[in-house]
Structure 1
């Protein structure tokens, strides 16, 4: 099974508070330390006082204000959740390279971060018939009563990407949006209408226009991230 390994060793710590979007205070080895939070998501249901987290010590860098990266958190339900919003993109690339996804089994060539008009899509693909396509990858951390939801904060950029996928589809590209759920306890995925009605509306429009939507759960541990299973996308 495909495994995307985490570089470096993870150490357990206690979460204290989030100072801003990308900086948190944690408690480790009897001391308070600052840790970088690698996502702009709200994570209000996850980053709770005294929550168990896994952090990684960084290579000393005078340009950094923090010595650690906060990479995972243990949810109140005892599920490990990855907070690294860049990890799903690298994971999706690995899954495509290793031909691990049935939905993308005919992909022959891939390239990351390819420009399309005024923006960039996460992955550009070419299948065995020479058909070009784009894949936009979204990191999902919010799960409520078995339902994975995205986004957990309004995402103007995410809503814009969906409209651009629609335009690319009209031009003949095979386009998809893939939701990588960075935890293993979701039964299905749905857009988070309460938090971002525009994203949800655009997702419906995209699917109606021929954009494919997929969601996959994953197994998170200290070693990295592994594919668990495909789950339904419910609008």
Structure 2
């Protein structure tokens, strides 16, 4: 997907809370919005080059959203709204082999006590619930999730097991918001319970996928399937 709004570069200064940050643009300090509640500490380092998307709504307190940052030469998208949009585009364009058979794509559908990102149906009425998790954490070429404890993420995995137990298909897709990583693995050091839940889901036949992305300053698209190490 190509962003239809203006994007600009700036220099990151600080992030006083989850939703706000300060950047230097044209020698002026600006407060901007951060559309990601994760820590992103290895990306949002003082002095790094970040990418801002211009938002012109009169209801906003800030003019820009911080959507990406450079970690060395690697550009990493951190917009938490992006993964579902990228996956939706990929599903429509039949870019993910496992889901090619599903012809009906619905967003934000509820099963049990959870709302999942996608409900997919094929022409015979078979259903699949799909949850998408955006991945921004990378160390030495290894991508990991989560970068902050996530009880909600753990509950999603357990609910996907319940989906499977009813005979329906269930899957989780980790969208790695950068390119050229070695593999994906759960970040047990940050949240061991999420890692346990992911392995439990896999043992109960929930499908687990990871894909990286081609990322530019004004675009992001699904790229290649990445191996998952549990």
Place the TM-score, normalised by the shorter chain, in its bin.
over 0.9
Moved over 3 A (4+): none
Q: What TM-score results when the alignment is normalised by the length of structure 1?
A: 0.95
* Match of residue 35 from structure 1: 32
Contact 1:143 1:185 in 2 (8 A): no
* Match of residue 2 from structure 2: 5
Structure 2 unaligned residues grouped into runs of 5+:
none
- 2:95 pairs with 1:73: no
* Match of residue 225 from structure 1: 220
Structure 1 unaligned residues grouped into runs of 5+:
none
* Match of residue 16 from structure 2: 19
Contact 1:79 1:185 in 2 (8 A): no
Give the match's secondary structure for 1:179: strand
- RMSD (Å), alpha carbons: 1.0
* Match of residue 191 from structure 1: 186
2: CA distance, partners of 1:57 / 1:94: 22
Q: What TM-score results when the alignment is normalised by the length of structure 2?
A: 0.97
1:31-77, CA deviations, whole angstroms, 9 ceiling, x for partnerless residues?
11111111111011100001100112211423x2211110110013x
Aligned length: 230
Give the match's secondary structure for 2:51: strand
2: CA distance, partners of 1:96 / 1:46: 29
1:178-216, CA deviations, whole angstroms, 9 ceiling, x for partnerless residues?
000000131110000000000000000001001000000
